[in-house]
Structures are given as structure tokens and as C-alpha cells.
Structure 1
Amino acid sequence: MTHPGEITRRQLLRRIGITAFAAGPGAGLLAACATAGTGGGNEPAPAPSATLPASADPKNPFGVDPRKPLEVVIFSGGYGDAYAKDLHEELYKKEFPGVTVKHTATQEIGTQLRPRLIGGDAPDVINNSGPKSMDLAALAAEGHLADLAPLFDAPSIDDPAKKVRDTVTPAVLDNALVTGKDLVLNYTVSHRALWYNARLFADKGWKVPATWEEFTALGETAKGEGILLFAYPGQKGPYYQLWNVLYTAAKIGGNQVILDIDNLVDNAWNAEPMKRAVTVWADIQTKYGDKAYFGLDHTQTQVKQLQNKVLFYPVGSWIENEMAKDKPDDFEYAIAPIPEVTGSDKMPYGAIQVGVGENFVVAAKGKNPQGGLEYLRIMLSKEGARRFTELTKNVTVVNGAAEGVDLPAGLRSAARAQDAAGQNIITEARFEGWYKELFDYGTEQINVVMAGRITPDEFCARMQKKADAVKKDESVTKQTRSR
């Protein structure tokens, strides 16, 4: 089934330019096709930003002062920070010999940087990621984000005859938009679904469940062997389960479910597919989960899965690199689509969510926004992207940059799953970045409903009430999307 705004698998292959990751059927497709809105609503406050001179030097299109220091702050999560410190920053210093680059790695992005931005001491490049990321819409409204249009219109490092915008998957440009302006660079391709140990399934002779009946039947079998069918982290990662519920709702009712939630459509959270999704997952938690996991963070939960105490875990394809040091030899990450829930889901079995992520922004009020734009241009070079993939085992948005890279089993599995999904791609929810207050509230409430303290109907009603409040709040910049 084709949904409005989606592109064909052939177009995806052509646009992403990745055709030979690894041997084997289906291993050639890792394109990002999540889409974003067209912007709208109130415009953010004017933000000072670097602009391309009329006669731009393709080697220095932003007019970077080679002596001016650059400050980069990286979220040290699943990708670590070595890719920035040892790769991208070194490439920047190679381009501008003698320049000083200050590097900071943290898991407290919002806690550490929000006061600095307010106080006029912004770093130049910010990897705005993780559970404490900053509200992009608020930053845009306050004029803290530099315009990235000059970056996308700049000559590519690899081929000055091409603009940067012509070297990346189109989802980058869709997702760059905040209130209609290009303000965010999403750097990685991610696949969010249910992840499991393919080696364990092979050893047990278990089949990956395609229907909800098969899913629950496997839950009974696993319970008999002391294994949980499913778990998610109640601390520092409950949004994994919020994503899982949202994408299950889209599986049931189609991508319009997500579009309506993002567009703050009246009663979007009370839609039947949303209620059904919350209900089935709350039931799974009750029958096949363990409340002790509400006290665990994402790393602790992921270690439990590596110990084969949990079968399915709702997360993205970054997990393989995140757990590389802890993963035993007999554990092989693989991706499983959400099983068919109703028997008449609008999206067939095999539909998965594929999107772009890992936000990078340039501070408009930083000391060196021109250097910040050049740093991102270096990241979007084939060398910067290919070596990132080699270091992190995750694919970037740069077309063709991962060709020939030896990818791990989990990413090959994701490629095969996306290949099988074809046009049936679950779109990425955007309200996480647009209305962070709503997303954070959902992250809290998902624990409440999964723990059985409220009913699924009450969860949906609470979320709708919060969405209504955001919609009525004139201080919140509203955004819309059509695909």
C-alpha cells in the first residue's frame, strides 16, 4: 500500500546511492525516507547566520577565519564522541592548520547548554541529542539556530559542481525544517522496530512472529523458559516505548495517525488505532513483562537482553554500536517488524519505521558560525561520512558514502527489512522536536499506563488534553506537515 508523500523503493535506491553494502539478498538498501512538514505558523525571531558571499570560494564558501577557534559539543550516547574528536575535528584542523578546536562530550546537553545559550556563551556546533536534548522550536523562536540554507547550497567538498543538498538523501532537507526554515542537520539513518537475538532464535528453532497471536504464543513459550517476551527501560529510555506505541498505531491505522498527532488535529490521540496500540502493548507488559524494568535505564535493560533474559526490545539501529563492547559472541542483533495487530492493519506485516536522526545545529549567536557551517560541510563529505560509518557501524545520510564498508549483522538485517518493506515505511513522528513539552509528557505517561496505573483510554485522554493545551498556547510556534 502506498501512502501520500512516500517514494518508491527504486527511487530510494537511486537517491541514497547505496547499492553494495554486503553480499546477500536485500543487503543493498539503507535509505532514509521519513518525511517532515513544510513548516508554517509563526516565524522564529530573526537569527544572525553565516551567508554565502556572491563570489564564494568553493574551498571556503562561508569565509571562515582560519585563525578563529571553534567549539564543538557532542552528545556522548550510542555513537560515543570519538567520531567527532578523532575524525571530524581533525579534518577541520587539517583544513585550517593551527586552529584551536575545543571539544566537549556530555550526556547533559540541555542541562549544560541551555544556560550558556541564554547567557550569550553558545558553542559553535551542538549535537542536540539524547533524553535531555533542547527544544528545537523554542531555540528557533529565540533566534539561537543559524540558517543552514547556505550549507545546503554550498559546493560539496567531493564535487564542487554539486551543491551539498544534492549529495544527501532528501529526507535530510525535509527534516531540516523548523517553522519553514532550514535549521537542523540530521546526520544518521536509523531503523526503529523490535530488535532480537537471531542466534538465540536459530538455536531454539523459533520463528519471528508475524501476527499478534504468534507474538503472544511465543511469549508463553519464552515465559516457560524464564525469558521475558518484551521489555523497555523505564528510566532514561521510556520514550523508546512511546515510539513503539506510536509506530504500532501507524501500523494499524496508517501514517495519517502520525500526521494527525504532529499537526495537533482534534482528538488525534483518541483515535481508535492509537487506543488499540496502547491497549495491546499494555497487555503484553502485564502478561509477559516485568515491572522491575521500570527501575532500569537503557544500558541496564540492553545488558539484560544480551544475557537472553529479554527477547524483543524496541529501539533503533544504533543499539548495535552502543552495546558493541558488551555483546557476547553468541548474540547477533536482528530487526523484527511489528507483528500484524488486527488482521486488517492498514500497513502490512513488514512495515518498519526508517528515518533520519542525530540532530546537529550551528549556534547563530556563537563566536564562529561560519566555522560551524564548514564543520557540518566536512561531516557531509564522503570521507567524513564513510569514516563515521567505519567508527560507529551506523550509516549516514550522505549518498554512497557507505559503499564497501563492512557492516555488522544487525545493520545488514535492517537493510533486508527495509528492502522487504518496500514502500511500506512508517513515517517518523515529528512532535518530539516540534512540541517537546508534549513529547516529554508522553514519555512520563507511557510508564504510567504500561505499569497499569491508568487505562489505555485514560492515557489517550491525558495526551489529548496536553495536545489541546499546546494547540491553544499562543506562545508555542505551530508547525504542520502534509506527508
Structure 2
Amino acid sequence: MGSTSDGNTGSPGVGRRDLMKRSAALGLISVPTMSLLSACASGGGDGDSDGGGDTKGEKSKDNPFGAKKGSKLDVVVFKGGYGDDYAKAWEADFGKKLGITSTHTGTQEITGKLQPRFNGGNPPDIVDDSGAQQIKVDVLYKNGQLLDLAEVLDSPSVDDPSKKVRDTLIPGTLDPGMQEGKVVALNYIYTVWGLWYSGKLFKEKGWEEPKTWEDFLAVCKDAKSEGIGGLAHQGKYPYYINVAIMDLIAKKGGLDAMKAIDNLDPKAFVGSEAAQAGVEAIYEVVEKGYLMPGTNGLTHTESQTRWNQYKAAFITCGSWLENEQLKQTPSDFDMKFLPMPLLPGSKLPFEAIRAGSGEPFIIPSKAHNLPGAKEFMRRMLSKEWSTLFAKEANSLTILKDGVDPSVKLRPGTQSTVEASKAAGDNTFRFLYTEWYSEMGTAIEAASNELMAKRIQPKEWLKRCQAAVDKQAKDPASKKNHRD
């Protein structure tokens, strides 16, 4: 998530980084706006609630929620690929400007630490709910434990009070946080997903960046002949290999193939030519022995570190990879992002990428300091705090032109900027992982079996379709739909 970092746990945050430059191109990136969901249903908290009386201050033009000086804010942040130094910088600025002190918790054990608090009715005020131990957003929403964020999104932008906060964001980036028409999670980080490789290794070996699956397999074959794995993946977290499988499906069958899965189509997998082609392509990598040896049994950081040691040509991941691997990446590694190569007859072009927002921040409906939490989130979407995030996490946010353009990007991040610019409107994003966590877990389990050769593509398709069909029987599923 996450991840993510979607589905991603990671190494602790590192020290202060060089501030990254936000390319002017990013202001032009267009993520196709996904369909507004059907009419709102019950649950999700009361957007007008302001918590306990001891947290209510005077509302003003600069303090629209009445965050109270002297109150306290309870902040919990997933300490994964992006670390948590950025949140500490936010909290320090919040205290300086508003006189609100923060209790900070940085952890990878989101469920372990927070589930008892949610169950006990005393959750934190704001949470970065991400990682492998994320509390699933759809589950929290169905239990009425999340605040509808409309009030924050409709409040005045810190940078330009004539604009609503929502109007300052990259189009489409709010969609992954929607449940039944309400934005209940703010996916804060602008993320791209795909393949990654070392520019240095490719130059040394004379390999060209593959644009077709045939060329991809040729690089993997050559790598194997030289004792290098072709493809590494984070075997203990099959979320990552699904980046490759699902990207192949979307690019082969176009947006209709992607929407069929999100809309729980009875032929989303079984009967889908695109799904069959996508999974068979990945299985060919397995059958031909092109996987990095041992990768199926490794965690994300173990696989990624071996890739950094030139033990594999490619790895699947989201754009948090560079920051997560800073300590393990050789200085001349020259990290590069690669859109998923094309299968024959693909409907989307090579430049098409999975892109959008990740790292969901939530405000619990029973947060003690709701005014403070709302104001904290509003300031997250200011250029000042977006830049603070970039300084600490080496990544971009969903705020358009949100980072000082005067500084140099790291090579991996620069390549994602270039890929995003090349993709233009040709971006896509699955939503089933946010809408239907149980279904997503079932698909990941099937992929785990596939990569270990315990099942073949035909059985993978059957298991994935069974997960879709089971989800479709839930009446609440009808409230989520993509046109």
C-alpha cells in the first residue's frame, strides 16, 4: 500500500536527504480521473465531529478547523521505505506555528500497535496506515472507524486560499482512498510501479532497455548464461510479483481488462485473453529458470539488496525503492525505472505505466483531537510540507508542483519523472487492492503458489476468478464501480 509503500515493509528512515527537484513536467502529468463511485452509504465517520471540547480552538482564516494551541496530537507513521523523519519535521513545524505538540510513533507494526486502540475506542489522531501489517482501509471503513475527509479537501489551500485543497492535487490521486464514494484515506505519495534495473550493469553487458516481452526474455536468458538472475522479486510478499502480472494484463487488454477485475466481472480472469497471456508470460520466466536463485524465499529488502549486488537484471517494485535501498545501493549503480515490456498485440503502448497515489493517511472518526488532525492533514498538502517530505524521503507527493524545482533528483527518481512525462495520459491504476483486501490477498496467495511452481497458469486463473466471484456476492461490492 503500499506502498506502498503499498504492501511494503522497509528499513528505518535515514538521515536528512538532499532536497529533490520537482520537475516542471510533473505539473503536467495527467492521471486519468477514475469514475466517481456510486451514492454514499452509511459508515465512515461523521465529517462534522470535532472531538473533545479540550481540543476546540477559535476558527479563523488561517485556522479553519479551530486547532487549539496547547493541545496535543497523536501521530503514528509507518516507518518503511520512506522512513519517518519527514513526519518529525512536520510535527516540529506544526508545534512551532500552532503551538500543538505531537506524540510521535514510527513503527512497522501498524496492526499490532493500533488494532487494540481502534477496538478500544482510543485511536491516534492521524495515521500513515501502510506496510505489510497495514489495517485494511476497507475494513476500517466498514466498521465506521474512518473520518470522511471531504471537509479537509474542501478547505482553503494553505498556499492559495482562493483554491480548495482538492484542486491543488494531481488529477486522479484521490481515487484509491475512496470507499463507496467517500474519500476516507489520503494516498499522499505519487508513485509509479514497474520494473527496475541498473544502468551500470546494462552498460557493462551491452543490454538494451527491452520494450517487448521477447526482448525482456532475451536479456534474462543472457543474464542467466553469465550467472546472473533475470528477474528478482520479493518472494515473501507476492504483492510485488503481482505488479508485473497485473501490469501485463492491463497493457495487453487495455483499460477494459483492468476494469473487469476491479468491477468483479465473471470473466475477469477465466475467459480473459489478457489475463491468460499475462500470467503465462510470467510463468515462462519461472519455467525457463530466469528467476534470481532463492528469490521466492526472500523478504523485500533481501531480494532488493541482492539486486543491488548485481545478482539479478530486473526487479519489480514501486518508486519507494530508491529511498528504501539508499544504504545498500552502490554510488555508481545508476538505478533506472522501466515500464512493463509489451506482449504481442497489447492495446496500451510501451510507455503506459501504473501510476498514482500510495501511502494512505487516515484520520480515525474517534480521534481525540479532530481539529488538530484536520489542520495537520491540510498542511501536509502545502508546498512547505511537501518539500519537507521530499527532503527526508526522496519522493514526490500528490501536490502539483509541490517541491522546490531548484535541486537535483537522484537517478531512480529522475527516471520515474521521465517515464511519467513519456506516459502522459497513458497511466492506469487497479483499485481492487483498496476496495477488496480479502480478494487481493487471495490473488497474492495464488501468485505465491505460481512462482513456486506448485500451480500452473490455468489453476492461477481459476483461483483468481474464484476470489472475484466470492467478492461479487457481497452486496456492498455493488457500491464500488468503475465506468
Q: CA–CA distance in 2 between the matches of 1:340 and 1:76?
A: 35
Instruction: Note if 1:76 corresponds to 2:79.
Output: yes
Q: How does 1:236-275 map to 2 (within 5 A)?
A: 237-270=237-270, 271-275=272-276
Task: Give the distance between the partners of 2:380 and 2:22, measured in 1 at CA.
Answer: 20
- State the Cα deviation string for residues 230-266 of structure 1 (Å, max 9, x = none): 010111x310111221111011000111111111111
Q: Percent identity?
A: 36
5 Å-filtered alignment, 1:291-440, equals 292-342=294-344, 344-402=345-403, 403-425=405-427, 427-440=428-441
Equivalent pair of 1:187/1:360 in contact (CA under 8 Å): yes
Q: 1:33 aligns with which of 31, 34, 38?
A: 31
**2:180 maps to what in 1?**
179
Change (3 A) 1:205 1:385: same
Q: CA 1:115–1:413 in 2, change beyond 3 Å: closer, same or farther?
A: same
C-alpha contact (below 8 Å) 1:43/1:141 kept by paired residues: no
Residues 1:350 and 1:170: Cα distance change in structure 2 (over 3 Å):
closer
Partner in structure 2 of residue 49 of structure 1: 47
CA distance in 2: counterparts of 1:50 and 1:378, whole angstroms: 19
Corresponding position of 1:203: 204
Tell me how far apart the structure 1 counterparts of residues 340 and 329 of structure 2 sit (CA, whole Å): 24
2: distance between equivalents of 1:314 and 1:261? 21
CA distance in 2, matches of 1:291, 1:445: 20
Report what 1:106 is aligned to. 107
Shift of the alpha carbon at 1:63?
1.5
- Aligned partners of 1:107, 1:32: CA distance in 2, in Å? 32
* Structure 1 partner of 2:277: 276
8 Å Cα contact 2:36/2:181 also seen in 1: yes
Q: In structure 1, what is the Cα distance between the partners aligned to 2:165 and 2:287? A: 49
Judge conservation of contact 2:22–2:396 (CA < 8 Å) in 1.
Answer: no
Distance in 2, Cα, partners of 1:120 & 1:361 = 15
Instruction: Report Cα offsets for 1:87-129 as digits up to 9, x if no partner.
Output: 11112112222x3311111112123212211110100101111
1:42 Cα deviation (Å)?
Answer: 6.9
> Secondary structure in 1 aligned to 2:307?
helix
2:338 alignment partner AA = A
- Quickly say closer, same or farther: Cα 1:409–1:321, change in 2 above 3 A: same
Q: How many residues align?
A: 454
Contact residue 264 and residue 468 of structure 2 kept, 8 A: yes
CA distance in 1, matches of 2:276, 2:97: 54
Partners of 2:47 and 2:27 lie apart in 1 by: 36
Residues 385 and 216 (structure 1), Cα distance of their counterparts in 2 relative to 1, 3 Å cut: same
| TM-aligned CA distance change 1:481 to 1:340, over 3 Å | same
Q: 1:448 to 1:41 in 2, by over 3 A?
A: farther
Secondary structure (helix, strand or coil) at the match of 2:75 reads strand
How far did residue 405 of structure 1 move? 3.4
- What per-residue deviation string (whole Å, max 9, x for no partner) do you get for residues 411-435 of structure 1? 111122222223322x111111111
**2:132 alignment partner, SS class:** coil
How much does 1:51 deviate? 6.1
Where 2:359 maps in the other structure, the secondary structure is: strand
The residue aligned with 1:130 is 131
Would you say the 8 A contact 2:91–2:101 is kept in 1? no
Using the TM superposition, give the Cα deviation of residue 28 of structure 1 relative to its aligned residue in structure 2, in angstroms. 5.7
* 1:451-477 CA-partner distances (Å, limit 9, x unpaired): 111111111111111211111134x55
Letter in 2 for 1:136: V
* SS of match in other structure, 2:83: coil
Q: Counterpart of 2:6?
A: none
The 2-side partners of 1:29 and 1:411 are apart by 15
CA distance in 1, matches of 2:381, 2:303: 33
1:61 corresponds to which residue? Answer: 64
Q: CA deviation at 1:66?
A: 2.1
TM-score for the superposition, normalised by structure 1 = 0.89
CA distance in 1, matches of 2:393, 2:376: 19
C-alpha deviations, 1:48-100, integer Å up to 9, x for none?
A: 334699x9522111112223211011111100011101x11112112222x33
SS of 1:171 mapped into structure 2:
coil
Q: Which runs of 5+ in 1 are unaligned?
A: 1-19
Contact 2:174 2:357 in 1 (8 A): no
The answer to whether the 8 A contact 1:47-1:147 is kept is yes
Map of 2:94 onto structure 1:
92
Checking the alignment, whether the CA contact within 8 Å between 2:109 and 2:133 is kept in structure 1 is yes
Deviation at residue 350 of structure 1 after TM alignment: 2.0
Task: Please tell me the residue identity of whatever aligns with 1:446.
Answer: S
CA distance, structure 1, for counterparts of residue 189 and residue 458 of structure 2: 35
Q: CA deviation at 1:172?
A: 2.8
Q: Contact 2:228–2:292 (CA<8 Å) still a contact in 1?
A: no
In the aligned structure 2, how far is the partner of 1:201 from the partner of 1:258?
32
- After superposition, the C-alpha distances for 1:32-53 in whole angstroms (9 at most, x for unaligned) are 6154442237713261334699
| C-alpha separation in 1, matches of 2:278 and 2:194 | 14
Between 462-471 and 40-49, report the one with greater CA deviation.
Answer: 40-49
Contact 1:241 1:314 in 2 (8 A): yes
State the alpha-carbon separation in 2 of the partners of residues 206 and 477 from structure 1. Answer: 46
For residues 296-325 of structure 1, give each alpha carbon's deviation from its aligned partner in whole angstroms, at most 9, with x where no partner exists: 100000001110001111111110111111
Cα pair 1:30 1:418 within 8 Å, conserved = no
Letter in 2 for 1:482: R
Q: How far is 1:291 from its partner?
A: 5.5
The letter for the 2-side match of 1:71 is: D
Read off the aligned partner of 1:250 and give its amino acid letter. A
The one-letter code sitting in structure 2 at the alignment partner of 1:90 is A
1:213 shift after superposition: 1.9
In structure 2, C-alpha distance between the alignment counterparts of 1:28 and 1:368, rounded to whole Å: 34
Q: In the superposition, relative to structure 1, how do residues 51 and 60 fare at CA in structure 2: closer, same or farther (>3 Å)?
A: farther
Judged with a 3 Å threshold, the aligned counterparts in structure 2 of structure 1 residues 153 and 362 are, in CA distance, closer, same or farther, namely same
Q: CA RMSD in A?
A: 2.1
